[in-house]
Structure 1
């Protein structure tokens, strides 16, 4: 029976891989969960190991003497302020970890290494990509592009596996929907907090992101589906030495999801949410809560992304040279969520809700409002193809709304937002 090693075991994707493997104890009798801290109560077949992946290979090896596995799931990630820092730190974590396996001799047991990355592979943080995004799209690795740490990690992995005769798999999830204790870079949590506070303020739910993106398309990844894919890809012969997109299988838009979010939290979508005059949104709360003065108008924002959107790399071949899509893309927020979260009436509303419902009050301070603003503010389509995985035999599918609804429920059960009755 195979055994596994999972790094980043308390992260939003790594945590779910641990629990997916542990659900199938007869197939995966031993799962080593590696992280700097333990935030979970693991099943009996999971062994937690305190390992700091930012330490040296020698330090890691000293803590991994009894850590052995047939399959490695590398889901560790460390956010950094600059692309160069992310390249250096995340590349070093992977390289030092692999070196540590050779120092302990554990590499002799390894059959396949699964590396978790993301759709940043396609430059979605830089602007309009080519749609649909496919695994054989060229890497944006010329001098005109900022460093992409996923490319560094994949090059490290490919070189290591070639030298040691091991197989590899790489996954590209996008806009992940899931939950992890203490992990606040979470689209679902920030979205639930936004809706909860909107309700407390007596307002209709307004989409804070790009009015353009509201009717465009996006593809999401359930952490549970991604974990199931990783378990499948570890053992599937046709998956060897391949990179795969891993998204739910449906293509969604916020024009479809937003009314469902509103209904779930007992709200309605503001009928004219994209009307130029937003004063009504600010005064609505004032009248319902009988405030002595009207809150200041809500601030919008617009940020221009990289001078070359990803699609420009393929524009001549696609017949799109000098097309408007090759102009710099924008992230637009009709309600700047970072500034919204700093407003006095917003913070006071959260304090009231947290006290009344017995919630973890510090959740609001730790929520990544900038991350949600970016996800909702990209004014372009993000369509990710699943044909390669389907041809290899993968049949997994998840309904994105059902996935989001399930995570909202879990957040309520854990006391991060009010339970929805």
Structure 2
């Protein structure tokens, strides 16, 4: 029976993979690697403390008794500077692979699954060609006078492919989008910030739930990825015939829009949908909703769509602009908002760290952009992948877990 190694086991994607490996009777042992012990009590799981910022030699000492046929690499280290982000995350992967070579564990490896994301396409840089397909142009070359900052996934993908060629094993890269899930002590996810925004809005006078972003975003189409579905996909891709040496989009399989999700969020949290939702137009340089402060962010790079301009016959001569009629970061610093949060926190014994570490800046991007973000699952479907998850149901499940874990206040029943 095979064994598996999971790095970044305390994160949302990593912890979900460990969970599903434990449920899979095909796996005999699961090596959980992270700087802190996630405390998994399943007898299959063997934790090893690993600092991926260490040298290959240092990591090899921690991995001297660790071997497996399948590796799931979910570790990630945030950096503000794109060049530094690429350097650090590339180094972590490279040193980890070298450590496996030093210990000899690389000799038993069959497939290595690396979790990346839609930043592979440059969705964080602006409007991309839709739908996103795995063979789309990489944003590495200049297109006339257009260039983009480095994307760290490219460096990781190069490192992985080179190591696989040397070692004679296969690689998989997964590209999930806006992952929905939970990991204890990890608040870097969209659902936590979104749930806190809704819960506190309910506690504020009037209980209104204005959509923070722009009007175009409210009506745009997007896709999300359940952490559980992504984990199931990774286990499938690790053994599926002909799946090796491939990059795969991994989404729930449905297409959603905030015009559909926002009223459901309001109903779930007992809030009122404002009418009009965008009293000042909801476009760049509009006023904020009510007495909330708006924000317009003009990005420096050209839309990634410019890389496809000649092929699709569209001139892209503008830079991306984000607009939010409620700036999430400034909203979270308001006196009335913090007083409402403090009352909820004290009443229900909620985790203050969740509020302090919520990724309000991520909501700024996700809701401020005026373009859709849709990928296709056709490549995986052709190879036999049939998984599916309903995005609203996954959001609901994540909120329920956040409530049980003391991140969000308990749900009230609303008539």
Per the shorter chain, which TM-score range?
over 0.9
The aligned residue for residue 290 of structure 1 is none
- Cα RMSD, aligned residues only: 1.4
The ranges of structure 1 where at least 4 consecutive aligned residues each deviate by more than 3 angstroms after the TM superposition are: 277-282
**One of 372, 390, 402 as aligned partner of 1:411:** 402
Which of 304, 316, 323 aligns to 2:298? It is: 304
8 Å Cα contact 2:287/2:293 also seen in 1: no
Are the counterparts in 1 of residues 221 and 372 from structure 2 also a CA contact under 8 Å? Answer: yes
- What is the DSSP-based 3-state SS (H/G/I as helix, E as strand, rest coil) of the residue aligned with 1:154? helix
- For each residue in 1:250-286, what CA deviation from the matched residue of structure 2 results, as whole angstroms up to 9, or x when unmatched? 011000000111111111211212011999965xxxx
8 Å Cα contact 1:10-1:40 kept in structure 2: no
| Matching of residue 150 in structure 1 with residue 149 in structure 2 | no
Query: Would the aligned equivalents of 1:211 and 1:334 in 2 still touch at CA under 8 Å?
Result: no
5+ residue gaps, structure 1, are 283-296
- Take 1:280 and 1:113, find their aligned partners in 2: how far apart are those partners? 47
Q: Hey, what does 2:82 align to over in structure 1?
A: 83
TM-score, length of structure 1 as denominator length: 0.93
Q: Name the residue aligned to 2:97.
A: 98
Q: What per-residue deviation string (whole Å, max 9, x for no partner) do you get for residues 76-106 of structure 1?
A: 0000011001100000000000000010110
Other-structure match for 1:8:
8
In the TM superposition, residue 73 of structure 1 has moved relative to its aligned partner by: 0.5
Over residues 105-152 of structure 1, what are the superposed CA-to-partner deviations in whole Å (9 max), with x where a residue is unaligned?
A: 101110010010000000001100000000000100025221111000
Instruction: State yes or no: 1:315 paired with 2:306.
Output: no
Quote the residue 1:169 is aligned against: 172
**1:211-262 CA distances to partner (integer Å, 9 max, x unpaired)?**
1110001010000000000000001012111100000000110000001111
1:301-337 Cα distance to aligned partner (Å, 9 max, x none): 11122432111001111111x25xx521112111101
Question: What is the number of equivalent residue pairs in this alignment?
Answer: 403
Alignment-derived partner of residue 269 in structure 2: 265
Q: Specify whether residues 281 and 334 from structure 1 end up closer, same or farther in structure 2 by C-alpha distance, changes over 3 A only.
A: closer
Matches within 5 A, 1:192-203: 192-202=195-205, 203=207
- Structure 2: where are the runs of 5+ without partners? none
| SS at structure 1 position matched to 2:6 | strand
Note if contact 2:280-2:287 (Cα within 8 Å) is conserved in structure 1: no
Find the aligned partners of 1:243 and 1:56 in 2 and give their Cα distance: 28
